[in-house]
Amino acid sequence: MTAHLAQVNIARMQGPLESAVMADFVARLDEINALADASPGFVWRLQTSEGNAAYLRPYDDDRILFNMSVWRSLEDLRAYVYRSAHAEVLRRRAEWFTRMETVYAALWWAKKRLAHLDQHGPTPFAFTFKAAFPPDEAGAPGHGLVVVRAVSGVEPRLVGASVRRRMAHGAVESNDDRSRGCAISNGARGSTALLPRLQRLPGFDHMAVAHARGSTANARFVVRRRWG
């Protein structure tokens, strides 16, 4: 099976789509979308009857645009984004869109989702029509594990979602009293063998661990939550 790459990104407009500030962006939509369709490695993109996704509003904020597409490889997507006329639009994004304070783009391999579903069954990471999860399920009460990046240079630690500690001097904190878990101190006996075992649990988010290891700021990364 071909490992297609999916991408999603969002952006918050400076004004309504029909406003003067967005006019130049709207004028180039058809051109840029046609360029994507004809680009090497392009597979699919989200669009309405208008031929684009500019009128979709999946967020409560009506100024947030949502875009999604599928490509044959990371290099194909990179070439379109950074080495085609699309790069010209990208360079002007500050004219049309506000600065995002949250993550605004994500990529994933579609094949990995299928493999995860086959191995672990339905989870919020990948599910089926018969066993589906709502989009806000990640915030539901349940048993959980969280990776916390506490201090730059300190290895991430795994903590339960109900563990309460101050996030200082390598300590961690969680405010979810409805769930249970455990804390594993850095350097604790057997801790090096723990993560590989946890990674075999159904629904474990391996990317969350990778993001925690690469983080240099105080942050929480949910790596697994068991619902029910």
For residues 194 and 186, the answer to whether their CB atoms sit within 8 Å is no
What is the model's pTM? 0.59
15 and 100 in one domain?
A: yes
- When pLDDT is averaged across residues 162-177 and rounded to a whole number, the result is 35
- Spell out the residues 6+ positions from residue 60 whose beta carbon is closer than 8 angstroms to its own: none
For residues 183 and 194, the answer to whether their CB atoms sit within 8 Å is no
16 and 96 in one domain?
A: yes
43 and 95 in one domain?
A: yes
- Spell out the residues 6+ positions from residue 17 whose beta carbon is closer than 8 angstroms to its own: 26, 54, 55
pLDDT digits (tens, 9 = 90+) for 57-74: 999 999 999 999 999 999
Amino acid at 2: T
36 and 86 in one domain?
A: yes
112 and 152 in one domain?
A: no
Token pair 């961690």 is at which residue?
172
The domain boundary residue, chosen from 117, 146, 177: 117
pLDDT digits (tens, 9 = 90+) for 26-60: 999 999 999 999 999 999 999 998 899 999 999 99
Query: Can you give the residue range of the structural domain that contains 97?
Result: 5-117
Instruction: Assess if residue 64 is contained within a domain.
Output: yes
Question: 74: domain CATH number?
Answer: 3.30.70.100
Looking at residue 154, what is its pLDDT? Answer: 43
Token pair 């105080």 is at which residue?
218
112 and 12 in one domain?
A: yes
**Residue 82 CB burial class (10 angstroms; 0-12, 13-18, ≥19):** exposed
Token pair 């066993």 is at which residue?
131
- When pLDDT is averaged across residues 166-183 and rounded to a whole number, the result is 39
Token pair 């094949």 is at which residue?
111
pLDDT digits (tens, 9 = 90+) for 111-141: 888 887 888 788 877 888 888 877 755 434 3
112 and 14 in one domain?
A: yes
Identify which has the larger pLDDT, 146 or 31. Answer: 31
153 and 196 in one domain?
A: yes
Domain count, the chain: 2
The domain boundary residue, chosen from 51, 84, 117: 117
* Dihedral over alpha carbons 183, 193, 208, 160 (to 10 degrees): -20
Nearest to 225 by CA among 140, 117, 143: 143
